Amino acid sequence: MGHRDASQRKKIKEAYQQLYNKSLMDDLHSELSVILWTYDPPERDARLANEVLQSWIHDVNCLQVIVEIACASTPDHLVAVRQTYCALFSCSLEEDIIARVSLPVQKVNVLPYNKELVDHNTSDELVMILSTRNIHYNFPLQDITNCGEGLLESMLKVVIWCINSPEKHFGLGTNEDSLSRAIVTRAEIDMIKVKEEYLKMKDTALEYATANDTSGYYREFLMTLLGANNSSL
């Protein structure tokens, strides 16, 4: 599956269903990253967002997934994610964010999806500018840091990274889950740039870091997405 693009993976899923009369997704009991890779990109991101919103833990590591989808995606992909989310969960993504994420962090997460759902009179100008992708203001990260180190400030930093330098954000790889997610979601977008940024920031190759943290078929799968030669690691 790691050697197949989105359209080919879709055909494999359909053929599997016809041949065995059961879902390929149900039979994939290995790693979450393998399952995510098998989904079409819009469905993958819709399910990632829903998993975050259903969780009781709403820290920056969780909520940044929603920002990544909104601010590091093309407009067409974002529309497809919203449509898929509604079809899968019978609720709009924006409505789920409003219902499950508290203010003021809610504003950062809702605005990129639908700015009409937020009262602009009560929305902070900085949040509005960043979350609607208006990068002409080019706020330095230090200005946000000077305002504090809370969840809101952390989310605003993620917004800036995803808008201005998504490859740097995904190259950060702060933990195993975020690193694996970055590999799966950026493999067909800008993986070369992500690997370059990871090397600059961590002073080690992403391939070697991933190989050291994983094993077995899961390791081979991620190495395939990275375009690495397993025998050389």
pLDDT digits (tens, 9 = 90+) for 49-102: 998 898 877 777 788 888 888 888 888 998 999 999 999 999 999 889 888 887
Measured in degrees and rounded to the nearest 5, phi and psi for residue 198 equal -60, -45
Give 3-state DSSP helix, strand, coil % of the chain, rounded to 5: 70, 0, 30
Instruction: Report pLDDT digits (tens) over 161-196.
Output: 787 777 777 776 656 677 778 888 888 888 888 889
Q: For residues 64 and 155, is the Cβ–Cβ distance under 8 A?
A: yes
- In this structure, of 27-41, 108-122, 210-224, the range with the lowest mean pLDDT score is 108-122
Token pair listed for 44: 């993958």
Among 9, 61, 65, 59, smallest CA distance to 35 is for: 9
- What's the confidence (pLDDT) of residue 120? 44
Distance CA 40, CA 66 (A): 17
pTM of whole model > 0.85? no
Q: What's residue 170's pLDDT?
A: 77
| Architecture of the domain made up of 165-233 | Orthogonal Bundle (1.10)
Phi, psi of 2 (to 5 degrees): -65, -20
Q: What percent of the chain has pLDDT over 90?
A: 9
**Sign of the torsion formed by the C-alpha atoms of 209, 170, 77 and 60:** positive
